[in-house]
Structure 1
Amino acid sequence: MNKSLNASLEEFGGSLRDIPWKAFFQTPAVWAMIYAHFCGSWGHYTCLAWLPTFFSEELNLNLTEAAWVSILPPLASIFVTSTAAQLADNLISNGVQTTKVRKICQTIAFMSPAVCMILSSLDLGLQPWEIVGILTGGLALSSFALSGLYCTHQDMSPEYASILLGITNTVGAVPGIIGVALTGFLLDSTHSWSISLFAPSIFFYLTGTVVWLAFASSKPQAFSKRD
């Protein structure tokens, strides 16, 4: 039994050493995926944690109403996800380059919530239900990332797609820790939802779009050959 365990550990260690880690981090497109995952997660986790409080305190909804409207973005995402998948598949089937399709989808996923958050931050005299509707639409459209960023790992390297996703997803988990806490700190300091909740997300959505358009690629990578 010990021999079998030792053999398994040696094989596992050998397989880890065989992974072309250096080639991963020398590829600009990988860094684009890492940053995009971070940016998308920042908006997702902070809104998931703080939108119910925003609806309650800023829009003066009672707790029951705030709870109900908070589930609208995830529900709307169900329909957006199907639409995004069909759009991406149709574009690729019609000869559009895969990289271009991924860039289109991810741009929609970032710019839609950014624009909706900007509209919600401005003093436009909007009614509470209008702000709820705008935010619901923007956050639902962020599901286009499933046909953008989240397909790129497989496009780039079917062999190492799971490892690449593990790398980007690990970085993407960081906003769930620091982003949620920073939002609360900024809210206590500024008493402004625009500054604490929306401004950081808008920043990451916009910069994430720029980085994604500049460096993202679905071109297959021969990572192993590089190392």
Structure 2
Amino acid sequence: MEQRAHFHKKLEELKMQVLRMAALSEKAVHSSIKAYLEYDSDLAEDVIMGDIEINDLENAIDRFNLELLALDQPMAKDLRGIVGAMRITMNLERLGDEAVNLAHRALFLSTRPPLPYNQKMEQLTEVSKRMLSSALKSFVEEDSKLAEQVCAMDNEADELSIKILKQYINDMVTETRIVERGVHAIMAARHLERVGDLATNVAETVIFIVEGENVKHRCRG
């Protein structure tokens, strides 16, 4: 009985570590979006430098997970929780990478004249942030229904990304001087779409942890 209590205490510690990493990754995404929208080069630099902490925390969580698997031989939902934590941390690390990628676009564009206003880009930033926030909340609360809602939002992010691509291509055809900036903006939209994809991955993992159902690549739309 005491051994099980000790094991569940370690599971709680694991969840707290994942939540700490989630907070860092979400902050990086939000900061990179702000840097992009506001042409803030200092904030973009902060995002790039902060990625080291996210990477280090992923390594620490991986070691902790392997120790739990090797020493405690968990079963059923406990095992799903550990495997799920490994999947989620992998996606959190990738979220940090996408934040860095977006920060690099922000750095470049901060040295150039502003592009024409694109409402769809702001909409995509809001959808991406909402997806990520909901996915992380579903993990905290073990709420598979909320996770399913995140999956359903993925199509909206994809459609906005396509509309942004088409609009910037049209802008570049009519105004060739913005071609270089337009390419960076299209790539920025791609990074934001990837944030939505990674949030969906987290949501799929929450469904796996809670329901024991593997919906990987199947819960979208």
- Fold match, TM over 0.5? no
Q: Which structure has the larger Rg over C-alpha atoms?
A: 1
- Normalised by the size of structure 1, how large is the TM-score? 0.31
- Normalised by the size of structure 2, how large is the TM-score? 0.32
